[in-house]
Amino acid sequence: MMSASSVLFAALVLFGSAANGSKKFVQRLPNGGNIGGYRAIGHADGTGKKKATNDFGDAFHKAGNKWTVELCQADTRKIPHLAF
């Protein structure tokens, strides 16, 4: 099982430099705006389309599009970009 800090780091990497429509979501993550190089991290194909959400995108949506303790501690190993 990954530690909470590993999950947090991975989420920050994924939320990186998001598309314009997702900047509001990046701001909802601790240090979310400080990581660059990845677009639309909650989406499997990187397009930002709702139908293309990955497991992290689904979990973030279920958490009310907020960073929560539960989201931080979630099992994100199903998401390829979070598999360390």
pLDDT of residue 8: 64
Dihedral class, residue 33 (left if φ above 0, else alpha if ψ from -120 to 50, else beta): alpha
Name the pTM for this structure: 0.55
Q: Work out the average pLDDT over 51-71.
A: 83
How much of the chain exceeds pLDDT 70, in percent? 44
pLDDT of residue 84: 35
pLDDT of residue 19: 44
Residue type, position 33, single letter: G
pLDDT at 35 over 60: no
Q: Which residues share a beta bridge with 53?
A: 43
Q: Higher model confidence: residue 31 or residue 70?
A: 70
Q: How many CB atoms lie within 10 A of CB 43?
A: 20
Asked whether 76 and 60 are in contact (CB, 8 A), the reply is no
